[in-house]
Amino acid sequence: MNGALASATAEERISWAVRRYPGAVVLSSSFGAQAAVMLSLATRVLPSIPVILVDTGYLFPETYRFADELTRRLKLNLKVYRPALSPAWLEARHGRLWESGVEGLKAYNLLAKVEPMQRALHDLGAKLWLAGLRRTQASTREDLAVARLQDGRLKLHPILEWTDRDVHRYLEAHGLPYHPLWDQGYVSIGDTHTSRPISAELTAEQTRFFGLKRECGLHEASADGASL
């Protein structure tokens, strides 16, 4: 499968997915810095594709407004999923887990991100999951394949080889915006409490999760069947 998709363009990869799994392809988006690229590519092939946003309740105000803007502009079929617990209830029951080191971050991500995403994939009957991961984004993504199995479901990364320049050219060519916080130095944008702007002291990877880890859990497979 990877051999067949290796020389294909991003659009061709998405078209292949839609043909192979009609009615069972979804796209996840954090509505982060460069999210407009995958949202545009996917909806140009399949305008009605379900777009999953996991709303932890801790996203930046700019992220919510960016999601609204792109939903209107691209006529997205947006599916918002939230944790079982509200932010206030989560903190009342577990405290500020993200302040408790790597194990606390893992526990928080499982409750606030992974569980809602797994629920979304199940509810929407997803057999193939499109994600906008790129190899240049982090060392944890350097060895990713275009297609992979994750917890029994096919995962496809259509823009895996794209560089920042490729992204910029696409956004410019299609008149699409970066996330509003991009101009303030945010290169990776998630929750308010674990996202920082890049600086002389911080690399791009260190701007998330206090530099303790890079992935939030959504894109990591686990032995027990949940994305951990």
Could you say which of 108, 216, 217, 219 is catalytic? 216
Nearest one of 57, 49, 83 to 190, comparing CA atoms: 57
Task: Name 3's Cβ contacts closer than 8 Å, sequence gap at least 6.
Answer: none
**Residue appearing with tokens 């499982």:** 110
Find the helix or strand (DSSP H, E) in which 77 lies: strand 77-81
Q: In what helix (H) or strand (E) does residue 170 lie, and over which residues does it extend?
A: helix 164-173
Kindly state the DSSP code that residue 191 receives in the 8-state scheme: B
Could you confirm whether 216 is annotated as catalytic? Answer: yes
What tokens does 63 get? 């992220």
Position 32, amino acid: G
Active site residues: 216
